[in-house]
Each structure stands twice: as C-alpha cells, then as structure tokens.
Amino acid sequence: MNADFESQPHVVIVGGGFAGIAAARGLRKSNVRVTLIDRNPYSTFQPLLYQVATSTLNPGDVTYFLRAVRRGQDNLRVELGSVESMDHTEQTITLDDGRSLRYDYLVIGTGVSANFFGIPGAEEHSLPLYTRQEAIDVRDRLNGLLDAATKRAGEKVRIMIVGGGPTGVETAGAIAEMKQKDLPVLYPELDPDTLEIMLVDMADKVLGAFSESSSTYTADELRKRGVNVHLSQSVKEVKADGVLLKATDGSEAEEWMPAAAVLWASGVSVPSSVSKWNVPQVRGGRIPVSDRLRVNDLPNVFAVGDVAAINDGPLPQLAQPAKQTGTHVAKVIDGLVEGGGDPGPFKYKDLGILATIGRADAVAEVAGIPNLKGFTAWMIWNSVHIATLMGGRNRLSSMVNLGTKYLLWGRSHNLIVGDISDFSKNARTGPLSAAKSMKRHHHK
C-alpha cells in the first residue's frame, strides 16, 4: 500500500447493504480511499429471503461476498467487525475487536432489523425474516413441523405470519404454494389441511403502501390460495404456543390463537447499537439528515438507506431508495474532495412498488404504467428481482431454482432443506402448538 494512497481522504462506510455498496461504488473513481465495514462477510438481498425461508432458494443465492465488491475498485478495502462507538470530535470509530479507524468522511448505512414494538413475548417466541440466518431458522422450523406432524395424526399445524406488508404477503403466498403443490407428494401421511396459514395485520388492508385496488386484489388472491387473512387485529402478546390478538376496529375484542410458529414481518427499527454512536436519532431510531444526507450538526457524517430520516421521515424501505441515497452521498463526498461542486439536494425517484402473491400472480404499481395485476405483474417482479441480485452466479442460480419451481410446476418437489434441528426433535414428542422455541441466533 503506497504512501500516496494512504494520504488520500479516508471515507469509512458502515454497512454493506444496498446503500453502503452503492456509496462505495459511487466513489470508485474518486481520489479517496474507501473502507467498507460490516459484521458479515456477505451482503444479503433481503427481498428474496422469504424464498430461502420457504425452501425455494439456497442461502447463497441471496448473499454476495462483500470482498467481491472490490472488483474494478482498487481504492476499496473491506473490514469485518461491528462498530462499538464513534467519536466525532476525533473523527474515529472503534470496532468490537478494539481497532480504531480514523475517518475524514463517515457514511452510516447499517440498515434495520425486526421491531417487536415491546410486545410481550414477541422477540422470544417469534421468528423474524430480515437476515440470512433468520430465513434459515424459519425454513428449518417449517420443515421440522411438517416432519413432526407425520407422527402426530390429526393435529393441526398453524403458521401465523404477523405483518401484511410485502414480506408477510409473499411469505404467506409461498407457504400456501408449498401446501398446495408439495405436501400431497412429499407428505402423503398428511391431509394438506393439516397445515393452516394465517396472515395477521393491525391495519384494515394488506400492502398498506399500495392502492386500494391492489390491496383488495391481494387479500382476495391469498384467500383463494387458502390463507386466512385477519385484518384489524393487533398482537397483544406472543407465547410459545400461540398469540393473543386484539381487535383494532374499536371493539378491542381479544382472541387467543394457538400457533405452532409465529413469523414476524410486522415492522423494522434501527439496531439498538446505533444509540451508542453519538448521533441524533428520531422516531424508530433513525438518524435525521439534511437534503444532502448530512447528519444534523455533524458536517462530515452522512446517513443513507433505511437508517436515514430526511425531514424527520423515513424513505420507503425498499432497495431503490437505499441505492439512490448511497449513489447521491458518493456524489456529495466526491464534490467535497474534488472541488467539483454541490450535486444538489437528494430527490428520491420513485420507480414503483411490487409484491408477488404466488406463481403467475403479483401486483405492480410502476410510474407511468397503469396498476398491473396477475401474470404480467409477476413477470415484472421476477425480472426486477433477479436483475437486482449482485453477481452473475447468484442471478443464474436464482433463475435455475425459480425456474425449476415454476416452469416444472407440479413435477418438481425438490425442496431445499437443512439439518434436523433440536426443535424438530422436540416437536416429534411434544404438542406441535406448544413445542419449545428453537434456539435463536442473536447477532450484534
């Protein structure tokens, strides 16, 4: 590493998600040295995690080796670690192994994690769907429950999905497909109706960010596929054997619903570790930034993606806003370093929203195009998601796995499974609805 490189302004980027990688790539031609920090050696394509959870894609299909981002970018280094603290007077950050890095410009793009809203038992007894390991946990839980059910004749297996946004809707639809297509072949001992799928949301519609037409269509299609859609129901408490629901329609009626597994897709928040980083925070723990994405009162510190709050409000929690903020902050920093001027305020370009319901069925609301439903929307969804994956191998592998599932519909039943977990062993001998929660994987 030569002296000239070491003397260049140092840009430290915390977070290897959509926003962080976009910021790093946006600086590839700048006269800076860039350090990208993440606690994992890979970047995760979160929109397809539900396909891992429902045994269609391999975990490797939706993750990308972070060091591969260096291809064609000699000014980038990747560091593994979690940020413990930040000193913005000295312009340093300290990692969990004690190392300290000095920055000239700091970009915070840590993303978000599951928000349990302080609901009793939710964190202890439900499975979120926001990391690769969480998706694997869900996959192994579902497969373990089905295997256990073959030894427990007549006992229902209810899967409850909390949250009617895209993650919840897509997960419910994928499990419904598994029930319809795979159970009769792979589990002949089971009546397919042994598996019950319930989707719960406190709002009076699913896909709250979509139009009323798309929302109504989606709920109707899910019901046709055998999903019990319960709207205007909030979660009051989660236990090992079920969930206490409370009506949000004004009646406040409560109902206990037994469940073998509770999948949590109800909302996100900024990781609690951000509170130790000496940055201002607003609702949901997000970091308030200016229209140039600068953190308030910290001129050399920027926040991008889901962690940022512009005008005290979050951007849509989608890949496109995250990428756009990352690209824009790179232009801001490049202008400061090169003296090339101010690129102007960040303006989010809404490219539309998509959600799939199942095979040949989706909803799409894209700027300039009438709202689409059904097969055409589904083809757009597939094209956009595969094209957005990082790495040619990931795109090819995902196309093969999704193609095997959908093009060979009714003829391919090769679900991707993992090891037999402790939960699976316990479920064979205990009531399915009250089986002990599988050991959780915690990530700092």
pLDDT digits 0-9 by tens, 326-351: 999 999 999 999 887 889 999 998 88
Structure tokens at 230: 């319960």
pLDDT score of 431: 46
The share of the chain scoring above pLDDT 90, in percent, equals 62
Q: Where are the alpha helices (DSSP H) in 109-260?
A: 122-125, 132-149, 166-177, 183-186, 212-224
Q: How many CB atoms are located within 10 Å of the residue 360 CB? A: 14
Domain 3-112+270-338 listed as CATH 3.50.50.60: yes
pLDDT score of 429: 47
The answer to whether 326 and 109 have CB atoms below 8 angstroms apart is: yes
Confidence of residue 427 (pLDDT cuts 50, 70, 90): low
Lowest mean pLDDT among 230-239, 261-270, 363-372: 363-372
Strand partners, 43: 64
Confidence of residue 442 (pLDDT cuts 50, 70, 90): very low
Compute φ and ψ for 199, nearest 5 degrees.
-115, 125
Lowest mean pLDDT among 27-31, 54-58, 190-194, 296-300: 54-58
* Three-class SS state of 404: helix
pLDDT digits 0-9 by tens, 158-169: 999 999 999 999
Q: Domain extents for the chain? A: 3-112+270-338, 114-265+421-444
Name the more confident of 356 and 338.
Answer: 356
pLDDT digits 0-9 by tens, 373-384: 999 998 888 888
pLDDT score of 58: 85
pLDDT surpassing 90 at residue 2: no
Please state the length of the chain: 444
pLDDT score of 435: 42
Which amino acid makes up residue 428?
R
Confidence of residue 434 (pLDDT cuts 50, 70, 90): very low
pLDDT surpassing 60 at residue 405: no
Q: Which fold has domain 114-265+421-444?
A: FAD/NAD(P)-binding domain (3.50.50)
Which amino acid makes up residue 381?
W
pLDDT surpassing 70 at residue 398: no
